[in-house]
Structure 1
């Protein structure tokens, strides 16, 4: 009986040691598996964080690239618009230049082949208009390049009759009609008969008819100081339609 009890006690101790060892091994396996699982997920989390950082950086670069592209497009649109405006302005200026060159060529043909500085009255028309005379004058000058402009003035001398007597009288603009021998109504006023030009000059204006004078013709004198440089006579045009003058 005692021997059976000893054997039973030994078996129980062996079973306890075996179960304890088995439990210990099971716990050790579970601990290792848990550690391995946690380690694997920790690496995945780090990789996810790294990828998220790269995505954020690339998204920022993409946003900046889109901003730069939009700015480039806007600048290109502005440049295209500016170029269009400049091209239109250039075309307009070229057309204006062509017109001016045509006019210049016309007037250059009028310049006489005389000595340098020679001045000529190319057209002179004068017409009665109530108590006034309206005049149109075209002058040309053979000026060498770089020469100083011509500076002078026009003088109009009327030939006619006053109370049946032949007379000659200077004609002045209306503003000077009451000034004896003067052309300015006020001190310092601009002389409407003054001339300053290089190669050609077109002048138009109004003259006062002296009271009681029946004008037959008018002489135009171009003065440089006290020197008469050119003259031209014109009969008084009393027609309703003015005489035609050359047009470019």
Structure 2
């Protein structure tokens, strides 16, 4: 949207005023996503780093820029469009060294073409931690959120508590490839749908329902409801401080 343009950046809320002053009036050269981190790279080796966290959100539109409303952290405008950011965990201007420090601590991102499943497996295969926790560990798999962690384990037929070291490299690659395909479909469709997918058979022969996360899921937020495959009730628990959902019949303990 803004690549190659000289952009205006401000902070109506005021919390990002100093950072906005550093990048406003510079050319935005590139935008890069790595896991849940977004980097806007500006001329002069400065990068705007954004992490939405649980409550951050973007809004955008065509010029003219609307009057600011509420707690607006950052606003960017270019030749024809504007972008607004609210409620993010991080909104800061970083040097190349600081950007590299974030990249180094992140794991492999399934959405990136330079990601490597076996690099991630070196951490997974040597760990006694549960696969559910490993999928949500951003130092192992960058960008996998709670819905995908629950759903990809159901699709693999693995109980959430299965230790990483209990699976081999080939099985991990299958999980990785499925996760990568699901996440890429989510980007294209603009919703998370793990049942009606392009690369696996569907369990149901109807259009996906639309709910809060956007599409159809097998287990996520379906406790007590029948499994779409076997009919057993979906179970709910907690692990690593996060909600997990699984089918005890389809996902056997290892």
**TM interval, short-chain normalised:** under 0.3
Higher relative contact order (CA 8 A, sep 6+): 1
TM-score, normalised on structure 1? 0.21
TM-score, normalised on structure 2? 0.21
Structure number with higher helix proportion: 1
Structure number with higher strand proportion: 1
